[in-house]
Every structure is written in C-alpha cells, then in structure tokens.
Amino acid sequence: MTEYDNEPIPGLPGILPPGETIVWQGSPDWRSLARTAFHTRLVAVYFAGLSLMAALFAVRHGAYAGLELTVSLGLVGLGLLHVLAWGSARTTIYTLTNRRIVFRIGMAVPKCINLPLGMIASVDFAGRANGTGDLPLTLIGAPKLGYVALWPHARPLKIARPAPMMRSVPQAATVAALVARTCLAANPNGRIAPIEHAQAQTPRTAAPAFEEAHPA
C-alpha cells in the first residue's frame, strides 16, 4: 500500500461534487523537469569545468585522485537530481475540472492544492521545442501559498508572491488552450483570452492531503 492508495479519484482529495467534472489530468515530463527545475544541464557544465581543471592538474602533477573524485561526485550529483526529478514527476498530478485546478504534489509530504477557477486572473504559457512547457497561473488577491511548499511547481523567483505553475507539461500548447478556455467559461468576465484547438490528455496516478488557497 502507498500513500496514494486511499484516494477516491487519482489526483483528487475526494469525490467530485455534483456538477463538477474532470476536463484534463496530466503530469510533468520528468526529463524536461530535470533540465528546467533541477537544472541538470547547468550542474553538468559546472562539474565538467571542475573535471577539466582537475584533469589539467593531474597531468601536470601526476596525481589523479582529485580527478577521479571530481568526476565521481559529478556523476552522483547528476544521478540524484535525475532521481528527484523522476520522483517529483511521478508523484505529481495536475487536474483541471470545470470548477478548479488541483495540484497534487509532494514526494515526502503529499498534498493537494485547490485553486478555484474564479481565483485565476490569467494563464501564461512558455513552450519548448520538444512540446513540453510551463503554465504559470496568476491569481487574484493574495493567496496563502508558500514558495517552498509549492516548489518545484512555482514560478521561478516569485518568492514574495508565489505563483503556482504547471511545469514541464507534455503537449503544453494544447493544454494551455484547454485551461484558458475552461477558465474563461467559468469566469466570462475574466481577462483570460480563449485559445482554440485544445484536447484532453490521458490521466495518471494520484494523492492525499488537501490544501485550499483563499484570497487574503
């Protein structure tokens, strides 16, 4: 049994109330998450530079222990970051319903963060060449969300006013269109522009605890 086995619906903390339906569910692509949230490429470049310096020192002085240690640390560090990215993606489910967006996140302490569509002022989109992308959500008011509790599902550098972000979503352009259209349908007077050509994606697994964001 895992901590997710008691979920009545994968990715949600309870049974949906009458009239609420799931529009889309998805999880981050772990390889893209490793590169963008855990910065594996930057870490690889850093250790490559250290290894080059260690290699030059080893050739000059005939001492290769430092080079072996540097390379080993780099490989272990990159391996751990990839494992964390895989674990984070595996335990994350983003759920869009006709009334809210739910983030099921957390490896050590699973939780669900509930964002009613009426709280969402805008949906941004940052796509990548491989089809994945990030969907930062701008919320109305001052929701009580902590940056550390949200990370890595938080917009980078928005620490004082954390903004939830759906990270490394596959088929991101399609999902962004679907999210924008659903938000607009729920809040016709909002500022979210409708985008066409959206389609749903296959759901994945799910989580327990529940946290609801309220405007201050």
151 is written with which tokens? 């990370």
Give residue 165's pLDDT. 94
Specify the number of domains making up the chain.
2
Q: Which amino acid is at 84?
A: L
Give residue 189's pLDDT. 62
Q: Exposed, middle or buried, 167 (CB in 10 Å: 0-12/13-18/19+)?
A: buried
- Between the alpha carbon of residue 126 and those of residues 170, 177, 191, the distances in Å are 12, 12, 18
172/194 Cα distance (integer angstroms):
15
| pLDDT one digit per residue (tens) for the chain, 216 residues | 345 556 778 888 888 999 999 999 999 999 999 999 999 999 999 999 999 998 998 888 777 788 889 999 999 999 999 999 999 999 999 999 999 999 999 888 888 999 999 888 888 899 999 999 999 998 887 777 888 889 999 999 888 888 999 999 999 999 999 999 998 888 766 555 444 333 333 333 333 333 444 443
The dihedrals phi and psi of 167, each to the nearest 5 degrees, come to: -100, 145
Is 2 among the domain residues?
Answer: no
Say if residues 8 and 2 touch (Cβ distance below 8 Å): no
125 is written with which tokens? 């989109």
- Indicate if 62 and 167 belong to the same structural domain: no
Q: Which amino acid is at 167?
A: R
HSE-up (13 A, CA, CB side) for residue 89: 22
- Indicate if 122 and 68 belong to the same structural domain: no
Is 156 among the domain residues?
Answer: yes
Give residue 193's pLDDT. 45
Say if residues 151 and 144 touch (Cβ distance below 8 Å): no
- Indicate if 97 and 204 belong to the same structural domain: yes
Domain CATH number, residue 107:
2.30.29
User: How much is the pTM?
Assistant: 0.81
- Between the alpha carbon of residue 28 and those of residues 98, 114, 190, the distances in Å are 21, 18, 27
**What domain range is 142 assigned to?**
22-28+92-212
H helix and E strand count, the chain: 5, 9
